[in-house]
Structure 1
Amino acid sequence: MLSISDAKSAGGAVSYFSDHLVMEGAINPTEDYYANHGEAGQWFGKGAAELGLTGDVTAEDFGRMLLAIDQNGEKMVVNGGDENRRAGWDLTFSADKSVSSLWASSSPALAAQIKLAHDNAVAKAMSFIQDDGGIAARRGKGGIELENAKMIAAQFSHGTSRSQDPQLHTHNFLMNLAQRQDGSWGAVQSKEFFVRKMAAGALYRVELANQMQQLGFDIERDKRTFQVKGVSEDLQKHWSKRRQQVVAEMNKHGGKSAKSAEAAALSSRSKKEEVDQELLINRWHEEAAYFGLNQEKIAELQAQEKEQKQMPTADQIWSELTQHASTISDHQLKAAIFEQSQGILSADQAQDYLNEFIQDNETVILRDHRGNKRYTSIEMIELERSIIDGAKSRLNESHALPKTSVNIALANVPTISDEQRNMVNHITSNGGLAIVEGMAGTGKSFALGVANEAWKNEGFNIIGTALSGKAAEGLEAGSSIKSQTLHSLLIQLSEDELTKKPAARKLTPKDVIVLDEAGMVGSRQMSLLLAKAEEAGAKVVLVGDSKQLQPIDAGGSFRGLSKALGAASLTDIRRQRQGWHKDAITAFAEGDAGKALTAFKSRNLLQTGKTHDQTISKMVTQWKSDRDQNPNSDSLMLAATRFDVAMINQATRELIKDELTGNKITINNSEFQKNDRVLFTRNSKALNVKNGTLGIVLTTNDNTMAVMIDGDIKRTVVVQLDQYEHVQHGYAVTVHKSQGATVDRAYVLADERMSGQEWSYVAMSRSRDDTHIFCDENLITELEQTMSSSHLKDLSTDYQIEDSDSQTPDMALDAIPEFEVDKPQEQSQSQMEL
């Protein structure tokens, strides 16, 4: 694992590191945190070599480099000598706990070999950062120009955590000083090594895994990392006390990002204890033996038969890479290939394989409008181009309704607005595909209901569909179009792959498919639906908002189709009752969170808490106060993650515990009583509930729970718990589950990672009346930037294919039709590096 700290000032770094350096040829005995039991720090990097900095790191040399002062006392950069200058960053590589456990439990000879394996892996990763352009020096007025440069880093290895558990890791203090190509010196642009963090960390693990294999151990992949096979998980957990402290601190404050992890590590850090090294090693060996990891077991692990693994094919890798994204950045591709190489290749072999993969016939190199490389597969290019080309080919198909039929339907609803009228005319006109782009709360379903009447009067069969059961239910309720999930519709329209049984449902030219929340549908499902409709001559109407939550699967096909074909537009927000609220929603949709948040702050609708628990407490207290004052109105609390949703639900139940009565039952470790709010989390035909249906518990007994379902028409379902147990507390839900919902009041817990532009737009547009925002105090300064950062899904057709001799001629790209390139919006760094 690689973690990168925030930049440190020269003065702060000198103070922090001064006790860990060689003083006149010997380690300062007062502290050995950055000197592994007497092992001195070491210089690393081409820039260090240019200055003659090799071998042990002395306090004098370290201090000069922090201040950017040469051996003659001269400034190496403009602000050299300033103790408050940004001195550098700490890049820390940490071995997997299974490796650290083996290192701590092994004989001195084997422990030294494992330590060397770690050192070699660190060197490979740091060299990658340097050689891949991760060290960029500023040049020119204002330091705007960047060029590849030579790094200076001081490496300090250590083997224990602050809890005195084994933790093999190396701190690489990267100086904010690098040598340009002309020999001059400049400050470092941190973005370049930050965007390579995932790739460098993965390459470190590749080399470490390979070196552990050379020592005789077997390696097994563990999601994005690896473990040494056979090392006790109980022992690893026992030796992860420091990690448990950090997680507890993060949970306390609600943090989830790398930055929060760093803050939690700092705030929960205690002074490192002074422990006799020999006593510590003896303790480790005793603890390891207790968990079954003694010298005999280690020898057994080295002698066991090893599984020979092969790299997956390019097709297999691209299938995984394009599951959730149509294209990936250069850095994402490197990280993905390196992760796949763990336990199979060495670091050098992995980099060779990367180059071969880029040259493979399945790989297509793209360039964005700034010239930056992105990658996709031939399959994804063909798929997404076929979506656009197929849609364009249907523009002139005859699907128009007689004008008189449309006018009659419009006349029956005198409250319809002009833009809703235009929408109805648009989707009932010619063309095999029609698109509606409507902001949240503009009455899309209402207008669809009018079109539904016109279609039915002319003998058309209208099929409503949406990605989720809850959205399909909302479409049907709002438009009277009988609706189902997209998944179930596609199953009905497709031949059974195993039995070759014909499709259960066949489309005809008299069918109209209305796909709601189309902006959340990925390219593969969109392609299949449009192909089935085109084959039968059925019309498709796509309704959605490309500015709302993006598809989980790859591709922003709805946005691409809307740009290519045009769309009816609905912008007159009708859901919110107050003008300022409508303006704020529009600002969130357009990425101007600053303007929107100012409006909320001025009306005391933004509250903060000193801790995450306090923030949640304020949220549920506000919810209860408003509910008690307005018992006939509905409300909903929203959060980004299921973890936060669970915390809010728990806090709410504690606050209203006196209202919860009757028999207590337990479902999936959660307790339910009469008057509890519940959320159904799986579709059920028997109960007529969808994933996302809400209700209130009426009665409970040992095996049943009666629930009154929310809605204009109240109904009660009796849940047989031995047949259906997919329920959880429903006071709060994730924003993803709330898209399409409307309530009187909403309460939003803003999250540091998830609160992007699209998320914020959906969260803030759920209520007719007030929306209250809650945020941890330490996150408030970043809230505006976070809520303005767009996470729009791209299409492979957003980019131009690179015209390069490196692309092999037999890729048959000439067979793929030409397309118009739309310039994509600039992506945030968090979006670029997953």
Structure 2
Amino acid sequence: MITIQQLCDAEGAARYFSELDDYYREGGAAPAELVGCGATRLGLAGAFDKTRATAFAAALRGEVAGQRIGNPARHRAGYDLTFSAPKSFSVAALVAGDDRLAAAHDRAARAALAHIEAHALVTRQRGADGKGYEWRQVEGITGVFRHTTNRRVEPDLHSHIVIANAGYDQTTGRWASIDGKELFAAQREAGTLYMAELARGAREAGHEIDWTINAQGHPSFEIRDVPPELSLAFSTRTQAIEAELARRGLTRETASPDAKQAATLATRDKKLVGVDRAALVESWRALAREHGYDLDKRHGALIGNDQRLAASDDAVKRAIEHLSERDARFSRRDLEHECRIYAQGHASDADLAAAIDRAQRRGDLIQRPSWGRTAGGQRGHRSGFTTAEGVKTERALLETAGKLERANGARLIDPTGKAPLSDRVTARAIERAIAARESQNGRPMTDEQRAATAAILCSDSRLQVLGGHAGTAKTTSCLAAVADQARANGATVRAMAPTSSAASTLGEALGSRGETVASVLHEQAKPARPDARELWIVDESGMMSARDTKDLLQRAERTGATVILSGDTKQIGSVGAGAAYSQLSASVRPEHKHQLTQIVRQKNETLRGAVYDALSGRVREALQKADTLEIRTRDAQITAAAERYQQAQAAGKSALVVTLSRADRADVNKEIHDQRVAAGQVRDEREVQILDSKQWTAAQRSDAARYQTGDVIVWGAAHRRGPDRGEQTTVVESRDGLVTIQREDGSRWTFNPRNMSRFDVFDARALAVGRGDSIVTRSAMHNADGERLANGTRLEVTAVRGDRMTVRDEKGHQHTLDTHRGLHVDHGYAMTADQAQGKTADESIGVIRAGQENLAELARLYVIISRARERGVVITDDAQKLAAVLERNTGQCKQALETAADRDPPLPGALAQWLAEREAEREERLPGLPPMMAEPTDPGVVAAIERDREQLGLDAPDPDRDLDDQDLEQDLDFDGPEMG
């Protein structure tokens, strides 16, 4: 695994790593080197000696080549990246004395360091105009210290890679501090690369391994020959840390990086010096023999060229399947990262790169710039891909949409479905339809609502797109009026949405039974009937993937249905790949596209203004108009959100807490539950077992390495001699690509997940519930009487007794749930922004932090604020930093088909400058990334261009920059995850 620790005390850090004591140098047995391009530039690269130790200590203090970096009082010494081998690997390398494994560890750590040097060693400097910042790559000075014991002198092969907070900037010729945020951002990739290379070294040394992926998605492995009991006997340091976490009510999975660090420090033993190395190793070997470990067994290489070729092609195939299920485009770095996980050490990075090239030549991968995170958390174009399948899907989508548009169907205003009506009759019919809906709603329609309703009713096209900002009442005004009129004229109206809750809401508004798009697509296809008239109204269409939208339109074409797609391009897009609704909104004819912009949900102008600001990307103004609370710590944010919820409920107002992550949702739910218990609003509390979907892609479900003991698998189909449909089974073992489960009758069944489908995998956990609690279904489930409860059904707990829980739904119907099986429910007080889309409450309370770079998107802020009728509350740690994150991260989905931006993407600094010079010479500008025709000769420019080519989006600065504009001291305000 990899951990990163910031070194703040320069003098302490210098002594910590440079002194030649027994622990850190182990009597000269542990290699120590000074590496990095910066060290090479200074002529200091090589094995540590007194000169290099002195120079490295100075670099940690911020003194390099006669230059002082930053303010001595604030300067951070650097960063300690610790790469630790799995315990069984350490035992095989150090106890059994397999030197090939120690060498493999060194190669793996250096490969991870090379990745960090290529992608994460950057400096942040003021922009050329004196405003904002830009990031560029620097050359680092790094000390590598390999150790073989922990503080309890147990075998523990690990390397400290200590990166001094000093990097050489080729552009300015100066040394500057490093932006540590990028090290944390690259931590996951570096850890996976280290583990993949380590596994490859083990396989090449002839060791069989068991590759696993933990709950956070981080890979690891153990060497199979090493008895688990022996590994445990050599892990008393780990056990002490886990015991300390348990004392604090935490585990490695639930503890934050700070909590883990505190537990580590609390259990740290004093360093032992003067240990007899030979005696120590002999004591290790004696213990190993007691556990039956064969110390003298030797192994031959397990990996041949043919195996590497097959493994690399298979890894690329599975990685593409995984990424393309959720994203129409993905970066090359993301693809390489996933390939390492699926390769499981059977192939090197070079093998995987060659396999990616083969996939391109076959046409499986198509180069497309991928828009995503670049240095400093900015957003920009990166080298990336889409898939041939994705392009095919989107082309079929647009082709089918065009056919529906051109297909003349009966106008919805026409009761006969045969002959056109006169303008006067049509106008009267439209007015009656609008008046009827206005009477039912108790309010008049706006001019744009009336216009959209009339246009849809009069159109004979079989495809209409209705767009509208959140709160424009497009469902209760336009769609409801259209549905009423269509039904009155003999058409069958079907209400559909991507989620059960949205489908239920739409069905209630239209007076129809709400259906999920998935259920419609799984119906047996029916042939078109000339006399049949069907109107399909699909709400929240922006949440549909390109594939589902294509399949739905193709089914509508075959059955002769008319389709209205309703949505909002500014809200959160599909979890699946593609941006179908946005594509269709841009491609349909103007007369078939209708837009509502007048928001009517918010009851005060200030809140409505915040929604409009969020729509327009004016984030700072939106946060100022909303009730924005700055609360520094996460725990305090969770408590504040729960208190605001309780206050709103006490005032008789409906409230909705919206979070970005599932972890935040769970903690807010628990806090509200606990506050309600303390207030006497929830009584007779008991624990029940619930199931949380892991939300794996199909490729992840096919990977046996991901399955852990205790995982619950729920089967969607019956299998011969295996589980029945709906049966809940528990994973008891995963090995050699096979998963063994225990069925409800106690029998065991082994299967290969690569050959199976129609099942889902869940985490099982305990949930405290009591009378008066609000819960919600997280998946479709059945009550004790076999009645189906749709996903998203809100329930109130009325009693929990024995193995039964009685609940009441929003319509007042009573249901009994069987609690001896895992329930697909959770507390219903908070929801993620994706789940909240389509909901409305008097008060919305959003929890959104600036450090949540991967989740904090403008679309999610828009959803949070626009849910509220009366009050929108945003709880954050730092409003200014949050605004900066949201301004550069809109959250809009990507499409596979080429766009104008792809043909002429924004290019990085050096490359853009070179192109501009070619244009000035009136040479034709080539699309995209051009070949280097008139190569520049300046070495610095060549190097900068090559870096730009390699990673689009990392802007090179103006080489004529005044050195006084440099920001020599970086701020680290990003809490990176610990790689475990």
Give SS of 1:484's match: strand
Residue 422 in 1 paired to residue 414 in 2?
no
Taking structure 1 as reference, are residues 659 and 140 closer, same or farther at Cα in structure 2, changes over 3 Å only? closer
Q: 1:762 to 1:252 in 2, by over 3 A?
A: farther
Distance in 2 (CA, whole Å) between partners of 1:431 and 1:298 is: 77
Match for residue 257 of structure 2 among 234, 258, 261: 261
Question: How much does 1:228 deviate?
Answer: 2.2
**Which secondary structure state, in structure 2, belongs to the residue aligned with residue 472 of structure 1?**
helix
Q: Distance in 2 between matches of 1:735 and 1:42?
A: 48
Query: Which one of 633, 641, 644 corresponds to residue 664 of structure 2?
Result: 644
d(CA) in 1 for partners of 2:833 and 2:63? Answer: 52
Shift of 1:525: 1.0
Structure 2 unmatched ranges of 5 or more: 372-379, 414-425, 439-443, 691-765, 904-926, 932-951, 956-972
Choose the corresponding residue for 2:483, options 433, 448, 452: 452
Moved more, 746-755 or 54-63: 746-755
**8 Å CA contact retained: 1:380, 1:796:** yes
Q: For 2:580 and 2:953, how far apart are their aligned partners in 1? A: 18
Equivalent residue in structure 2 for 1:386, among 387, 396, 402 = 396
Query: Is 1:682 aligned to 2:757, yes or no?
Result: no
2:142 to 153, 158, 166: 153
1:673 is aligned to 2:670: no
Q: Does 1:311 align with 2:316?
A: no
**Counterparts of 1:827 and 1:528 in 2: how far apart (Å)?**
39
In 1, Cα distance between equivalents of 2:12 and 2:447: 68
Task: Give, in angstroms, the shift of residue 185 of structure 1.
Answer: 5.3
**Structure 1 counterpart of 2:473, from 443, 449, 471:** 443
Structure 1 counterpart of 2:841: 743
Alignment of 1:229-268 (within 5 A): 229-230=223-224, 235=231, 240-241=238-239, 244=242, 261=257, 265=261
2:383 pairs with 1:361: no
Secondary structure of the corresponding residue to residue 343 of structure 1: coil
Give me the TM-score of the superposition, normalised by structure 2. 0.69
Q: 2:222 aligns with which of 214, 219, 228?
A: 228
Q: What's the CA shift for 1:472?
A: 0.7
> 2:270 maps to what in 1?
273
Matched, 1:114 2:109: no
**Cα drift, residue 248 of structure 1:** 7.8
Report the Cα distance in structure 1 between the residues aligned to 2:281 and 2:603, rounded to whole angstroms: 65
Q: Distance in 2 between matches of 1:44 and 1:655?
A: 55
Q: 1:599 to 1:239 in 2, by over 3 A?
A: same
> What do the CA deviations read for 1:294-314 (whole angstroms, capped 9, x no partner)?
462666796999997733445
1:783 aligns with 2:785: no
Contact 1:101-1:166 within 8 A present in 2 as well: no
Q: Return the offset for 1:639.
A: 3.0
**Is the 1:44–1:152 contact (alpha carbons within 8 Å) kept by the matching residues of 2?**
yes
Counterpart CA distance in 1 for 2:123 and 2:777 is 55
The residue aligned with 2:586 is 563
Within the candidate set 621, 629, 633, 2:643 is matched to: 621
**Structure 2 residue aligned with 1:485:** 516
1:411 matched to 2:441:
no
The counterpart of 2:339, out of the listed 337, 345, 357, is 337
CA contact (8 A) 1:104 1:281 kept: no
Larger mean CA deviation between 284-293 and 526-535 belongs to 284-293
Unaligned ranges ≥5, structure 1: 494-502, 807-824
* Superposed displacement of residue 692, structure 1: 1.5
The residue aligned with 1:818 is none
Question: Is this contact kept in 2: 1:105–1:285, CA < 8 A?
Answer: no
Distance 1:574 1:246 in 2: 54
Would you say the 8 A contact 2:70–2:177 is kept in 1? no
More displaced 10-residue stretch of structure 1: 235-244 or 475-484: 235-244
1:281 Cα offset (Å) = 11
Shift of 1:490: 0.1
Alpha-carbon deviation of 1:487? 0.9
Aligned residues of 2:626 and 2:871 also touching (Cα < 8 A): no
Higher-RCO chain (CA-CA 8 Å, sequence separation at least 6): 2
Whichever residue aligns with residue 581 of structure 2, its letter is: F
Which residue does the alignment assign to 1:49?
40
Identity over the aligned pairs, expressed in percent? Answer: 20
- The aligned counterpart of 2:654 is 634
Residue 396 (1) aligns with residue 406 (2): yes
- Contact 2:245/2:263 (8 A) holds in 1: no
* Shift in CA distance, 200/409, structure 1 to aligned 2, threshold 3 Å: same
Q: Amino acid of the residue matched to residue 554 of structure 2?
A: A
In the TM superposition, what is the alpha-carbon distance from 1:702 to its structure 2 partner?
2.9
Using the alignment, how far apart are the partners of 2:561 and 2:848 within structure 1? 43
Shift of the 194–719 alpha-carbon distance from structure 1 to 2, 3 Å rule, reads closer
Q: Partner amino acid for 2:368?
A: L
Call closer, same or farther: CA 1:135–1:719 in 2, change over 3 Å.
closer
CA shift in 2, pair 1:727/1:334, >3 Å: closer
Which of residues 15, 19, 26 in structure 2 aligns to 1:18? 15
Aligned to 1:814: none
Aligned-residue offset at 1:794: 0.5
Structure 2 counterpart of 1:695, from 789, 795, 799: 795
Deviations 1:351-410 (A, max 9, x none): 443444444421111246977422111111121132234323443332444434433311
Q: Which amino acid aligns with 1:118?
A: H
| Count of residues in Structure 1 that have an aligned counterpart in Structure 2 | 776
1:821 match? none
How many Å apart are 1:584 and its aligned residue?
1.6
Matches within 5 A, 1:766-781: 766-775=867-876
Is residue 515 from structure 1 mapped to residue 538 from structure 2 by the alignment? yes
Give the conservation status (yes or no) of the 8 Å contact 2:2–2:187. Answer: yes
Alpha-carbon distance between aligned partners in 1 of 2:880 and 2:269, rounded to the nearest angstrom: 32
Distance (whole Å) between structure 2 residues aligned to residue 641 and residue 436 of structure 1: 30
- Judge conservation of contact 2:87–2:222 (CA < 8 Å) in 1: no
1:764 corresponds to which of 865, 883, 886: 865
Residue type of the alignment partner of 2:893: K
With structure 1 as the length reference, what TM-score do the two structures score? 0.80
SS at 1:434 equivalent: strand
Deviations 1:129-173 (A, max 9, x none): 55x566568999859898876543221234556788765432333
Change (3 A) 1:466 1:587: same
2-structure distance, mates of 1:741, 1:585: 15
Relative distance call for 1:208 and 1:653 in structure 2 (3 A) is: same
Question: Contact 2:626/2:865 (CA < 8 Å) preserved in 1?
Answer: no
SS state at 1:412 partner:
helix
Contact 2:778 / 2:826 at 8 angstroms: preserved in 1? yes
